[in-house]
Amino acid sequence: MSAAQAAGFDDAAAVEAAFAPFREEGRALLPEATAILDAHTHLGVDEDGQSLAVEALLAALDEVSPDARACTFPLHDPERHPAYRVPNDRVLGWAAESGGRLIPYCRLDPAEDPVAEAERCLARGARGIKLHPRAQAFEFGNAAARSIFAAAREAGVPILIHAGRGMAPMDALADLALRFPEVPLVLAHAGIAGQGMFASRLADHPAVVYDTSTLSPFDVIELFARVPAERIVFASDVPYGRPAFALYQAMRIGRMVAGLDDGELRMLAGGTMAALLDGGAPAKPTPPRVPQVRPAVGRLLRVVTYLHSAFASMLAGDGRRDPARALPWIAMGRTACRDPEPGPAGDALARIDASLDAAERLILAGGRPAFAAVGLVHATMVLAATEPAHEDGAGPA
């Protein structure tokens, strides 16, 4: 028991109070009658120590809506050999018992008879394919990759591909996508492994979409500046992210920065991904909604920079996730908020400071509250990064 707990600190009440403003805003941002579909979730066990049980995934989806659904597939499971057969069967079984809330994909290793495994899983109800070229250490300019795309084309299912950190240049994937334009392609993590290249080379691809599962709100904002809003889909990457926080980021950027209307926000939250799964195509693309040159508020940029550093410090070094490492950077963010001349950003800075005060208290409490603070810091960073900016500062138009 931590000193805070011994002194009567109420873990659950403190966490709920800290997140309450973001939960309320999140509900306000989400249009009525929105069918939420998380395009990127995992189940099972990963070699990196992460894990997620089906009950935990459904509970995480319940935080955004009791009807929220998710596309899901195995983690980098220690029992993946041969051909991801055991983890794939587990996911298929869990999805079958989810009442339709979980939409199973099969995960493939191009080195282990991928087409046979894809055909086996698709016959058992898989609705898509997941490829992770970093974890499985493969590239796309080869016969195995072509055979997987051919199998997806034959089955009419999407392929979701890791396109985030840790990747070499991914031009060969763009080549392959253009060779198979009939295959719906979901580029994970906002395509940050080659966002500019993908946006340029796949501009005319009829069925490529980008999921929003990335830490930095600036990566998602820039995505809205490079590709049509109709090509962007909400995703959380749980257990590495969390649906509630990821949806807050997607909806706040969509409404506050990209200016999407209610219908477009519904498509972002799940409509576009649902259409792809049903064999349809994304809506007709429109020009990107965010200008490539944008006004900014220096005070808020300082806060975002410090909070990025807070995340890096929590994850750096020996591989342990230690929220306490973030405290010096949170303190710097609060210093930026306490500007005696905050200008039109004053209301936002006051809200950010209050949120970071709560994050500090949770981290100092230790245990579960400290790890809950990680999500609170991220939500606060999203707030700072997306507050509307004008020539004289920030705030509502």
Sketch the domain layout of the chain as residue ranges: 31-277, 298-394
Beta bridge partners of 129: 106, 159
| Distant-in-sequence, close-in-space partners of 241: CB < 8 Å, separation ≥ 6 | 213, 215
| CA dist., res. 267 & res. 262, Å (int) | 9
| CA dist., res. 63 & res. 65, Å (int) | 6
Calculate the CA 236 to chain-centre distance. 3
| CA dist., res. 308 & res. 243, Å (int) | 20
DSSP label at residue 238: B
The type of residue at 247 is L
The answer to whether the bond into 228 is cis (omega within 30° of 0) is no
pLDDT in tens, the chain (397 residues): 455 554 445 788 988 999 999 999 999 999 999 999 999 999 999 998 899 999 999 999 999 999 999 999 999 999 999 999 999 999 999 999 999 999 999 999 999 999 999 999 999 999 999 999 999 999 999 999 999 999 999 999 999 999 999 999 999 999 999 999 999 999 999 999 999 999 999 999 999 999 999 999 999 999 999 999 999 999 999 999 999 999 999 999 999 999 999 999 999 999 999 999 999 999 999 999 999 999 999 999 999 999 999 988 887 655 578 999 999 999 999 999 999 999 889 999 999 999 999 999 999 999 989 989 999 999 999 999 999 876 554 544 4
Instruction: Find, among 385, 372, 345, the residue nearest to 216 by Cα.
Output: 385
- pLDDT, residue 220, reads 98
Tokens of 4: 């805070």
- pLDDT, residue 391, reads 53
Tell me, which fold does domain 31-277 have in CATH? TIM Barrel (3.20.20)
CB 38 within 8 A of CB 243: yes
Pairing of strands 69-74, 51-52: unpaired
Tokens of 171: 């031009």
Calculate the CA 266 to chain-centre distance. 17
Instruction: Find, among 275, 330, 265, the residue nearest to 304 by Cα.
Output: 330
State the number of CA atoms in the 13 A half-sphere of 302 facing the CB. 16
End-to-end CA distance of the chain: 48
Strand ranges, E, within 188-304? 208-211, 232-233
Instruction: Find, among 259, 249, 256, 252, the residue nearest to 215 by Cα.
Output: 249
Task: Kindly list the distances between the CA atom of residue 194 and the CA atoms of 163, 165, 168, 180, 294, in Å, as whole numbers in the listed order.
Answer: 7, 10, 9, 19, 21
**How many residues can be counted in the chain?**
397
Does residue 232 sit in helix, strand or coil? strand
Tokens of 316: 């750096």
Task: Kindly list the distances between the CA atom of residue 76 and the CA atoms of 41, 44, 133, 167, 302, in Å, as whole numbers in the listed order.
Answer: 13, 9, 11, 16, 36
| CA dist., res. 364 & res. 178, Å (int) | 51
Diameter over CA atoms, the chain: 65
Instruction: Find, among 124, 182, 189, 179, the residue nearest to 157 by Cα.
Output: 182
- pLDDT, residue 320, reads 75
Tokens of 353: 């400071």
Residue whose entry in the numeric block shows the structure tokens 């906002």: 190
